[in-house]
Structure 1
C-alpha cells in the first residue's frame, strides 16, 4: 500500500506531507483507527482461540483476517508519527519493511474475504463436494499458500521504496519515505498490479460467487436467511467501500504516466493523486478496524446472555447455520422415507387380508 508519493524531480513524487489539511486529517483518521482496530481485532483473536473449541472453516478464515487486520492496525502508529512530524525518523530499513508489511496485509485481507465467498459458494452450490473441498486439512493448506502468495506479490513495495531528502514549501529539509520509480513503466507496473490483483480480480470472484449462490437459493425452496451469508456479505461490502477510493487514485496515477511530462492532463492527474493519497490510504486502513464493529452489531443479541463470550457465540452460530441446514434436510429425508415405508407396509397388510 502506498501512503505517500514524494520528491521534487518527478511530479509523481511530490510530497503529500506538505499538505497541512491532508496530513492532519490523515493523522486523525489513523490515530482513531489504531485505538479501535488493535484492541478490537485482539478481542476477536482471543474469542476464537480461547472460547471456541471446534472451529469451522468460516471461523478459521475470520481468525486469519483478524490477525492480518490487527497486525496492520499496530503499524499505523508509525504513520501517525510520520504525518505528525512531517519527516521520516525510522530509517531506510523500516521505510521498506513497513510499507511491505502494509501491502502484504492488504492482499491478505482481500484474499481471505475472497476465500470466505468461495467457501460459501461450495457449501451452497456444491454441497456434496463440500466436505472434501472444505476439509480442515485442505483449508489450512490453502491459507498457508495464500500467505506465501501475498508475501511474494508484495515485493514491488519493498523494491520501489527508499528514504529520500525533500524540501517543503518553506525550503525546510526533511526525510521522506518515498516510492522510487526510475521509469514510468515502474509506476504503471506497481499501481496496476496492486489494483488488479488486490481489488479487481478478487472482487470479480466474490461477485461471481454471490451471483451463483443467489441463483442456487432461488432454484430451491430453502430460503432461510443464513447468518454467515449476511455476515460475510457485510464484510465484503465494507471492504469495498473503504478500499475503492484508494484504487481509484492508483488508476489515476497509472493514467498520468501515459501522458508526456509537462502536459496539462498529466499535471492535473498528478495533482489529484498526490493531494488525495494520504486521505484515501487512511480510509483504506479503516476497513481493518471496521470488522470488529461489524461483528459487535451482528452479535448484539448475544451480549446480555453471554457477556464477553458473545463474539464466540456469534462465530459458533455462523458455523452452525450450514450444519443445521444439513441436519434439517437429512431429517426431512428420513421422515419422508419413514412415512413411505409405513404406507408401503400398510398396503401390503391390506393386500394380505
Structure 2
C-alpha cells in the first residue's frame, strides 16, 4: 500500500479553536518514529529476501511449484522493501520529496503492486498445498513448475493493472500549508478513494482470504490424518505445509488491521461516523496499520529459516559450497601434489634401475 502524503497535513486552525488540536502532536510523534522504523525493516528485508532468492535460484534441484510461488513472494517483498528508503528520507525531511515525479510514481506503484501480488502468491501456494495433501493422487497442471511460472507472470501483470490509478494520479505538488513539494495521491474525485478502499477490501483481501481459509481447513485436516502419512511423498509435503501455514498466519496478522482500517475509512466516507476527531484517528490508524503490513515483508525470510526445514537444508547446500570454495581447491591441490610426488618416486626408482643395470 502506498503512503498517502496528503493525510499528514497539519490543521491550520489555532489550537485554542481546534477541538482536534492534539492531532498535530500525534502526527509529529508518528513522523519522528517512521524513518527509523522504515530503515530497520528495509535493512532486514533486503538481507533476508536476498538470502531467500539466492537459495531458490542457486539450488541444484529443480524448483517445485511451492518454490516458484514462495520465490516470487520473496521477489515482491524485496522490490517493495527497496522502495521504502525513499519514504524514510522524505519523512525525515518533513515530507519534502526530492526524487522527481517519475520516482514518485514508480516507487508508489511498486509498493502498491507488492500487496496484491503477495496476497495472490499466498493464495496460490495454499492451493498448491491443498492439491498436494488433500488431492495427492490427482494430477493437475497447477502442480507443474512450468505452469506455475506462467501464472506468476500473469499475477505480476495483474498487480500492475491494479496499480494503474497510482501511476496516473501520483504527482509532486507544492503544498502551501506545509511549505514542501510533496508526493501525493491526487484523485480527481473523492469517489476514487472509495473505489480504492473497496477494491482492496474485496479483491485484495476478502476473496483471496476465503480461498486461503478453505484450503487451510482441508490442509490442517490432512496434516492430522494419520492414515495418509504412509502415502509416498506425503511426509515431505507435510513439512512444506507447516512453512506455508506459518507464512499465511503472519500475513493475516500483519495485514488484517490495515484492511479493517480501510473498511472504517469507507464508512467515514459515507459519514456513518462523523466528527473531525474520528477522521484524524482513522488517518493515524491507517498509517500505523500500513507500517505493520510493511513489516510482513521483513518477517517472511525469518519464517523460512525458523520453520522451513527443507529451506534450511537447501541453504546449507548452497552456502556451504559458496562460503567454502577452498575446500574443493585444497582437496584438488592435495591430490595433485600426491600424484606429482608419486610420479617423482616412480621416475627416481626407474633411473636407479637403469644406473644399476
Q: With structure 1 as the length reference, what TM-score do the two structures score?
A: 0.77
Aligned partner of 2:249 in structure 1 is 237
Q: Could you say if the C-alpha distance between residues 218 and 299 of structure 1 is closer, same or farther in structure 2, counting changes exceeding 3 Å?
A: closer
Aligned partner of 2:70 in structure 1 is 62
Alpha-carbon distance, 1:205 to partner = 0.7
Structure 1 residue 107 and structure 2 residue 113: aligned? no
Aligned partner of 1:175 in structure 2 is 181
User: Looking at both structures, which has the greater relative contact order when contacts are Cα pairs under 8 Å and sequence separation is at least 6?
Assistant: 1
Question: Which residue of the other structure, out of 188, 193, 218, is the alignment partner of 2:194?
Answer: 188
Task: Answer yes or no: is the 8 Å Cα contact 2:49–2:78 preserved in 1.
Answer: yes
Whole-Å separation in 1 of the counterparts to 2:173 and 2:267: 25
Task: Answer yes or no: is the 8 Å Cα contact 1:17–1:23 preserved in 2.
Answer: no
Deviations for 1:255-290, whole angstroms, at most 9, x for unmatched residues?
111129xxx715243212222333222221110110
Whole-Å separation in 2 of the counterparts to 1:197 and 1:210: 19
Aligned partner of 1:324 in structure 2 is none
Aligned partner of 1:128 in structure 2 is 137
Q: How does 1:150-299 map to 2 (within 5 A)?
A: 150-168=159-177, 172-216=178-222, 221-222=227-228, 226-259=238-271, 265-299=274-308
Question: Which residue of the other structure, out of 50, 72, 76, is the alignment partner of 2:80?
Answer: 72
Aligned partner of 1:337 in structure 2 is none
Question: Which residue of the other structure, out of 18, 30, 42, is the alignment partner of 1:34?
Answer: 42
Whole-Å separation in 2 of the counterparts to 1:227 and 1:75: 33
Q: Could you say if the C-alpha distance between residues 9 and 258 of structure 1 is closer, same or farther in structure 2, counting changes exceeding 3 Å?
A: farther
Whole-Å separation in 1 of the counterparts to 2:79 and 2:202: 24
Task: Answer yes or no: is the 8 Å Cα contact 1:5–1:16 preserved in 2.
Answer: no
Task: Answer yes or no: is the 8 Å Cα contact 1:6–1:178 preserved in 2.
Answer: yes
Q: Could you say if the C-alpha distance between residues 303 and 64 of structure 1 is closer, same or farther in structure 2, counting changes exceeding 3 Å?
A: closer
Larger Rg: 2
Deviations for 1:5-58, whole angstroms, at most 9, x for unmatched residues?
4176999xxx99992211122222111111110011111111111123321111
More deviation, 251-260/33-42: 251-260
Which consecutive unaligned segments of at least 5 residues does structure 2 have? Answer: 13-22, 230-234, 322-357
Whole-Å separation in 1 of the counterparts to 2:266 and 2:293: 19
Deviations for 1:212-238, whole angstroms, at most 9, x for unmatched residues?
333455566125692111100000011
- Determine helix, strand or coil for the equivalent of 1:230: helix
More deviation, 85-94/227-236: 85-94
Alpha-carbon distance, 1:130 to partner = 3.2
Whole-Å separation in 1 of the counterparts to 2:79 and 2:314: 30
Task: Answer yes or no: is the 8 Å Cα contact 1:3–1:277 preserved in 2.
Answer: no
Deviations for 1:289-326, whole angstroms, at most 9, x for unmatched residues?
101111121258997997574799xxxxxxxxxxxxxx
Aligned partner of 2:349 in structure 1 is none
Number of residue pairs aligned between Structure 1 and Structure 2: 303
CA RMSD of aligned residues (A): 3.1
Aligned partner of 1:2 in structure 2 is 2
Task: Answer yes or no: is the 8 Å Cα contact 1:29–1:283 preserved in 2.
Answer: no
Q: With structure 2 as the length reference, what TM-score do the two structures score?
A: 0.76
Q: Could you say if the C-alpha distance between residues 306 and 30 of structure 1 is closer, same or farther in structure 2, counting changes exceeding 3 Å?
A: closer
More deviation, 110-119/151-160: 151-160
More deviation, 174-183/226-235: 174-183
Whole-Å separation in 1 of the counterparts to 2:204 and 2:24: 24
Alpha-carbon distance, 1:185 to partner = 1.6
- Determine helix, strand or coil for the equivalent of 1:128: coil
Alpha-carbon distance, 1:94 to partner = 1.7
